[in-house]
Chains A and B, each alone.
Chain A
């Protein structure tokens, strides 16, 4: 029983991170109808920026209580600039090009970012400094530590904040208008380019936070971490219904649970034939299954099938 509970806790924590990244995918998709392939790399860059600034600040003797927020803000700012740049360079000039073109530039951006990161930070795994005393808490036989609690609560808070922005503010109304119909929004006086840029920056800011969470949770950061994470977050977005914010959150949490429970029990279910080293495969099968049986996702109303 406690194993089940433990897997559920791990799944929810991991899933809340997926949800944050998935929000970035889904916001861009909702507005531009485009999958931002480079989003996973933005997550990685966020983690790496935070790592570098944290190490530097702590090295100068800045107390952790100050160093942590400063480096989080730095990482977020860095990623926002990056997100803005990506949209500006790789997507905006191709907004009316055939669909294949922005897809290919997105792949290009992703490769460039990954290899730049490899040149700057090297191929090795970096230990992420331990931020908070890692006190384990016992809940009904399962263990949850401080960092996991903070990740989960913070992720939920941020999601609530994002929902407030999208549904309560003027900017959010503009975003929804652009997502609904770009031309009509334009005619109503919405500055489309500005809204799209802000969307990219919001998504990238969330990505930075997600990257820091992943690294803090596992104590690791490396140049390759964005790829698989991006793939899974995309799966989460599709699972929930891409373009739908609530769907991304639900999909993220669900995918985290599926993965964690799957990896925990696959050994028993298949008589030891498949082990937990197949954990990364689950997301993929979920993706295929969703695409086959419910392409619009759990909360998606319509399937955007445009040629």
Chain B
């Protein structure tokens, strides 16, 4: 093996060609809602909006799973915490449940609720991570799995004796997000162009996704990010190098939770309605699939995974159902269980054949791809 120093962090050298490409890509993104609207209809713009939310979630989970290598199976719980934060502080529910305390209703501005949701979700992350992160990763996986369920059980049952979450009915009539006095809920006119509500949300989500990508990128190249990757690759060696592994793992966990909480707040404002069933284990698995499929630890890969998997259910609904109906005359396999079946198989197949994902990060490929024979595979493995 030649001694080649891998370029993990190549310097960005913007030449004119790539700059042009970037600008073209940016313009395409800005025009995306209008193009989608014209070609596929307004419903698809909404689907694209949801895809953006999923990308944000996946990027948040990428910090935990991709960078720090901690398997979080209840990630959607943080999303739920953020969503309920927004829902409770921006709906008539609290005023109805506690007329004495909140007789006028709570309607906090978006810019206060968003960081609040992120912080509370982060707090939950610390609460959950602190006892489990000093143990092996397997425990974290199962505790987070349990945590996801527990949050859902609490959301489902905290309607009595004190009606905090309104139980399985969920909270409705949530105020739409309004940015600087501009409500995103109705069509707005700028420069003579009409921007329908879904388009406005698209731009808001686009801005936040860009922010999340920027933060992830800076984190990846920072001292913290490098420490996370060191922990992921060899925890013992990392701690021998003076990295405080427990605190850094906790930081990764909390940071992932904060991104989840912030996306949850955006989700609640966009949807106008939250209920516990939006936060099932299925959703956690879906977000995990996005990260694994696209490429753990690689931002472009995770975005790709997010786009693919967020659009998959719609594609299945629009292709598989009519196909079955024309072939067998009825729907034999319901697209939802088919989707989950595909997710599960994707997790297995990816791990077996392409563990670093569709768009692997360089570091990750070396680690998972098995380019070099592992030290353990010696005499023992040769006999099998």
Contact = CB atoms under 8 A, between A and B. Distances in A.
A291 B341 CA distance: 33
Contacts of B381: 96
Contact of A193 (B136, B143, B368, B384): B384
| Size class of the contact patch on chain A | 35 or more
B132 interface: yes
B258 to A, nearest CB: 21
Contacts of B150: 281, 284
Interface in B292-312: 292, 296
Contact of B136 (A110, A284, A288, A306): A306
Given A107-B73, A107-B285, A231-B149, A112 B345 contact: yes
Interface string A93-122: 110111111111101111110111011000
Interface string A273-286: 10101101101100
B138 A280 contact: no
Interface string B3-43: 00000000000000000000000000000000000000000
A307 B235 contact: yes
A295 interface: yes
Interface in A257-295: 272-273, 275, 277-278, 280-281, 283-284, 287-288, 291-292, 295
B141 A35 contact: yes
A304 B340 contact: no
B333 A98 contact: no
A105 B354 CA distance: 12
A90 B139 CA distance: 19
Interface stretch (B170-178, B180-188, B209-217, B372-380): B372-380
A157 interface: no
Interface in B195-254: 234-236
- The secondary structure that dominates the B interface is helix
B142 A234 contact: yes
B161 A108 contact: no
A115 B344 contact: yes
B380 A105 contact: no
B131 interface: yes
B113 interface: no
Interface in A150-193: 182-183, 186, 193
Contacts of A307: 136, 234-236
Contact of B143 (A102, A287, A304): A287
B326 interface: no
Contacts of B346: 108
Contact of A35 (B138, B149, B368): B138
A286 to B, nearest CB: 10
Contacts of A109: 344, 348
B53 interface: no
A124 interface: no
Contacts of B352: 90, 93-94, 105
A231 B146 contact: yes
Interface in B144-169: 145-147, 149-150, 153-154, 157, 160-162
A103 B377 CA distance: 20
A139 interface: no
A182 B381 CA distance: 12
A112 B348 contact: yes
Contacts of B374: 96
A104 B146 contact: no
Contact of A94 (B234, B351, B384): B351
B82 interface: no
A287 B380 contact: no
A227 B347 CA distance: 18
A41 to B, nearest CB: 10
A97 B368 contact: yes
A112 B344 contact: yes
B277 interface: no
A278 B340 contact: no
A96 B73 contact: no
A16 B276 CA distance: 32
Given A37-B142, A98-B367, A228-B149, 14 more contacts: A98-B69, A99-B137, A100-B65, A101-B355, A104-B347, A108-B348, A115-B340, A193-B384, A231-B142, A273-B162, A277-B153, A283-B146, A284-B143, A284-B150
5 contacts: A104-B71, A107-B344, A109-B344, A115-B341, A234-B142
**When A and B form their complex, which 10 residue pairs have the shortest distance between CB atoms, in order from nearest?**
A108-B347, A111-B344, A307-B235, A112-B344, A108-B348, A292-B131, A284-B146, A115-B340, A115-B341, A108-B344
